[in-house]
């Protein structure tokens, strides 16, 4: 039976790509991923399918179809496939495939490292692709730091939290473009984030009150 690998590629730089990821990716007939992820595997010589935000569902279905046809396929997932990655949509699509998850270093882990933040007792959530949901408000009062993947724009999330009555002075950190040469770590107050511009690749930490 052919296999579907879900391969974590880390936050972006090849410095954080594991040997296990390279081994799995280079073993398959078809490699599926964003151009940014595919570029991490210059030694791969098989077929590729390019993932874009607009063709996600189609590419997931196509990957499953190819496995059914007997091809070994790997889908590349930024960071770790299990956190806001491809694992959930693939399991929703089919739970009877031979799947191997190859873990990757998540952007959350690298953010925790950059901020020297132990992350065994923090709130973790993703709003990626979900809008600025009030779900985050439940977490902000429980005296633990909250690490969140914003829904694309971190400044919009900060504006949303201010509108919902979170203290403008609340301490926050934004880790932007982690592992890339232009990586930036901003530490300041919530109201400052609302007025700044960041790239879409950001992890935000809202510290406890």
What is the phi/psi pair of residue 191, to 5°? -65, -25
Nearer to ligand SAM among residue 78 and residue 209 (C-beta): 78
Nearer to ligand SAM among residue 34 and residue 48 (C-beta): 34
Q: Which of 84, 123, 132, 146 binds ligand SAM (CB under 6 A)?
A: 84
How far is Cα 79 from Cα 119, in angstroms, rounded to an integer? 16
Number of residues that bind ligand SAM (CB under 6 A): 23
Nearer to ligand SAM among residue 46 and residue 82 (C-beta): 82
By CB under 6 A, is residue 79 in contact with ligand SAM?
yes
When CB distances to ligand SAM are compared, the closest residue is 79
> Which secondary structure element, helix H or strand E, spans residue 148, and what is its range?
strand 146-149
Q: Annotate each residue in 45-64 with x if it binds ligand SAM (CB under 6 A) or - if it does not, as one string.
A: --------------------
Which of 97-106 are b and which e, b meaning 16 or more Cβ less than 10 Å from the residue's Cβ? bebebbbbbb
Tokens of 80: 């770790």
Nearer to ligand SAM among residue 14 and residue 169 (C-beta): 14
What is the phi/psi pair of residue 110, to 5°? -70, -35
207: helix, strand or coil: coil
By CB under 6 A, is residue 65 in contact with ligand SAM?
no
């Amino acid at each position: 039976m052919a296999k579907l690998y879900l391969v974590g590629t880390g936050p972006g730089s090849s410095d954080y790509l594991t040997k296990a990821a390279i081994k799995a990716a280079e073993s398959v007939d078809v490699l599926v991923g964003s151009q940014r992820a595919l570029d991490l595997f210059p030694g791969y010589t098989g077929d590729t399918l390019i993932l874009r935000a607009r063709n996600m569902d189609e590419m997931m279905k196509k990957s499953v179809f190819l496995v059914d046809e007997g091809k070994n396929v790997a889908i590349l997932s930024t960071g770790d496939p299990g956190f806001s990655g491809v694992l959930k949509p693939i399991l929703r699509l089919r739970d009877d495939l031979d799947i191997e998850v190859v873990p990757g270093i998540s952007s959350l882990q690298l953010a925790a490292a950059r901020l020297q933040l132990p992350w065994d007792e923090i709130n973790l959530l993703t709003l990626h692709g979900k809008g600025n949901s009030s779900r985050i408000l439940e977490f902000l009062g429980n005296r633990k730091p909250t690490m969140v993947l914003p829904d694309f724009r971190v400044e919009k999330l900060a504006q949303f939290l201010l509108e919902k009555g979170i203290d403008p002075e609340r301490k926050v950190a934004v880790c932007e473009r982690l592992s890339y040469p232009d990586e930036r770590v901003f530490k300041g107050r919530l109201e400052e984030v609302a007025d700044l511009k960041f790239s879409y690749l950001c992890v935000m930490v809202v510290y406890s009150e």
